Amino acid sequence: MPKKGQRTAKVFAGDLSDAAGFAALASAYLDAMRVLNYSEKTVESRAHHLREFIKWCTERSFARPAEITKPILERYQRHLYHYRKKNGEPLSFRSQHGCLVPVRALFKWLCRHNHLLANPAADLELPRAEKRLPRHVLTASEAECVLIQPDAEEEMGLRDRAILEVFYSTGMRRMELANLKLYDLDQERGTVFIRQGKGKKDRMIPMGSRAFGWVRRYLDDARPSLALTPDDGLVFLTNVGLVFEPNRLTQMVRHYVDQAEIGKTGACHLFRHTCATLMLEGGADIRFIQQLLGHEKLETTQIYAQVSIRMLKEVHTRTHPARLTPELEAELDAEADEDAEA
């Protein structure tokens, strides 16, 4: 069963009494994922995409997985390609890929457990997902500009400043910050323990002394008035003493980024990108950044090697033959002065 406080997946369309129907088999597949200790977030995500697929099938009178063939799956894939959102934009290829992966996983499970004799999705070719760089990354001065936006003389402002400092110092995900407990902080060792992060993985990461200083000030001056009785030990609390919902954290951080008027947009993940990129530019080994961010694969972390343009620019300046010599610079300055006088 899902843990207390977790949302349960909506019932699938169709007849649950039909043991060979989509509704019953898709529900059994999600239960099997829970038995295998998949996170509830992953289960919910797959349930959402399967609901859309089953709805599409039901509208075309396909009530059972056994009725689905590879050509039908390819029709659904074309449907996703031509689908338009409410704003008229198409689904990105990454989104299309995300819609099809749960469908392919469902049919794989159905075959493995002998609900189907053959897997119609076995040879389904998925669209290539784009490998995009982070849209925006802050410079150190821009990050500092955002950090000073909250009014630290007020309780909520002090809390918000501490949250921004933690994001900037650690690069942790928003749910990881929301779930931090008091006993996860070790100021003496300068570490934070992330419990059950993405993929249900624990990790120990460092946090800077400045961030710890702001967190300590928040714990002493603001949190006592926010905490409810009994106190569940969460570090960061809303104005009514409850855990932060992910969207509320996003809205709060985005507000301060916009308020800073630095010409860049973003929220919690913006600080995650910034933390990794600035550390890499400062000389950190990419494997240490991988451990800090909790990436399972190094190739996920290597995106920051592409974002970190400063080091590439330094190499380009040292090695490319078309360099600006002092003589050429003086000549260009003289021409600029003549143009200004004219």
**Which residues are annotated as catalytic?**
173, 198, 269, 272, 295, 304
Tokens of 128: 């290539």
Single out the residue of 254, 249, 256, 262 nearest to residue 140, CA to CA: 262
Which residues are within 8 A (CB) of 319 and not within 5 positions of it... i.e. 6 or more apart? none
Tokens of 296: 């399972």
SS3 303: helix
Instruction: Quote the strand ranges of 95-211, DSSP E.
Output: 185-186, 191-194, 203-206
Quote the crossing angle between the two packed helices 40-59 and 70-82, to the nearest 10°. Answer: 100
If DSSP states are collapsed to H, E and C, what string results for 195-232? CCCCCCCCEEEECCHHHHHHHHHHHHHCHHHHCCCCCC
The Cα–Cα gap between 212 and 223 comes to 15
Which residues are within 8 A (CB) of 183 and not within 5 positions of it... i.e. 6 or more apart? 233
Measure the CA angle with vertex 71, ends 70 and 74; round to 5°.
90
Quote the crossing angle between the two packed helices 93-112 and 22-35, to the nearest 10°. Answer: 90
Tokens of 161: 């400043």
Residue type present at position 159: R
The Cα–Cα gap between 44 and 75 comes to 25
